[in-house]
C-alpha cells in the first residue's frame, strides 16, 4: 500500500517543485479573458513512496491520452503535454471562432537509485500516474582480512 510522505530537502523535493511549476506554467493562463475558468487553475501533482517505488500522480484535466508524452533519457524525465482548445469571442456583435494549441515541456532530473528502464506511465480519468521503481538494494558482505 502506498502512503503519502512528507519530504525533506532532497532530490525528490526538487522533483515535486519542478512538477508543480510545470503545471502552473501550463494551466496558469487558462483563466485569461478568453477562457472560462476550468475546474482548477492548475494541475496538482503528488509524490508517494513505498519500499519498492515512487509514484507521481498528476491531474491533467481536459487533456487526452494521445496529447501526453513521457520520455526518459538517462536521469532526465520529460513530460510533454499539448492542449488544443476552440473558443469564441464576441465583440460588438461579431463572433470570432479560434483554435489555440498550447504545448508544455518540462524536464525533471531523477535520482540515481531508480530503475529508469522500468518506469511506467498510465493515464485514466484525467490522472497521469508515473511509477518510478527503485533499484533493489542488496547487502554486500565484505570479507574481513587479517
pLDDT average, residue stretch 7-18: 61
pLDDT average, residue stretch 3-26: 62
Instruction: Please give the pLDDT value at position 143.
Output: 92
Share of the chain above pLDDT 70, in %: 65
Is residue 27 domain-resident? Answer: yes
Nine-digit cell string for 119: 518506469
Is residue 75 domain-resident? Answer: yes
Q: Edge-to-edge strands of the sheet including 76-91?
A: 68-73, 76-91, 94-109
Give me the domain span that covers residue 13.
Answer: 3-133
Q: Are 46 and 19 in contact (CB under 8 A)?
A: no
Instruction: Please give the pLDDT value at position 1.
Output: 57
Is residue 145 domain-resident? Answer: no
Nine-digit cell string for 25: 506554467
Instruction: Please give the pLDDT value at position 69.
Output: 93
Instruction: Please give the pLDDT value at position 24.
Output: 62
pLDDT average, residue stretch 9-29: 62
Q: What's the domain count of the chain? A: 1
Q: What CATH number has the domain bearing residue 103?
A: 2.60.40.790
Give me the long-range contacts of 72-75 (CB less than 8 A, separation at least 24): 72/110, 72/116, 72/119, 74/116, 75/109, 75/110, 75/111, 75/112, 75/114, 75/116
Read off the pLDDT of residues 82-141 as tens digits, 9 standing for 90 and up: 887 776 777 676 766 777 778 877 777 777 888 888 999 999 998 899 999 988 888 888
* Confidence bin at 33 (pLDDT 50/70/90): very low
Is residue 29 domain-resident? Answer: yes
Q: Please state, in angstroms and rounded to a whole number, the distance separating the CA atoms of residues 41 and 43.
A: 7
Share of the chain above pLDDT 90, in %: 14
Is residue 140 domain-resident? Answer: no
Read off the pLDDT of residues 52-86 as tens digits, 9 standing for 90 and up: 888 888 888 888 899 999 998 887 888 888 887 77
Looking at per-residue confidence, does 136 or 3 come out higher? 136
Is residue 125 domain-resident? Answer: yes
Is residue 36 domain-resident? Answer: yes
Is residue 142 domain-resident? Answer: no
Amino acid at each position: 500500500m502506498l502512503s503519502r510522505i512528507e519530504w525533506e530537502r532532497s532530490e525528490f523535493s526538487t522533483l515535486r517543485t519542478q512538477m508543480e511549476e510545470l503545471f502552473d506554467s501550463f494551466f496558469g493562463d487558462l483563466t485569461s479573458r478568453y477562457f472560462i475558468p476550468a475546474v482548477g487553475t492548475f494541475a496538482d501533482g503528488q509524490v508517494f513512496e513505498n519500499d519498492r517505488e515512487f509514484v507521481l500522480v498528476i491531474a491533467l484535466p481536459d487533456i487526452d491520452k494521445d496529447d501526453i508524452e513521457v520520455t526518459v533519457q538517462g536521469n532526465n524525465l520529460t513530460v510533454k503535454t499539448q492542449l488544443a482548445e476552440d473558443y469564441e469571442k464576441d465583440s460588438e456583435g461579431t463572433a470570432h471562432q479560434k483554435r489555440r494549441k498550447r504545448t508544455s515541456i518540462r524536464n525533471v532530473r531523477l535520482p540515481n537509485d531508480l530503475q529508469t528502464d522500468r518506469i511506467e506511465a498510465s493515464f485514466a480519468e484525467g490522472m497521469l500516474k508515473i511509477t518510478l521503481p527503485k533499484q533493489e538494494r542488496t547487502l554486500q558482505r565484505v570479507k574481513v582480512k587479517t
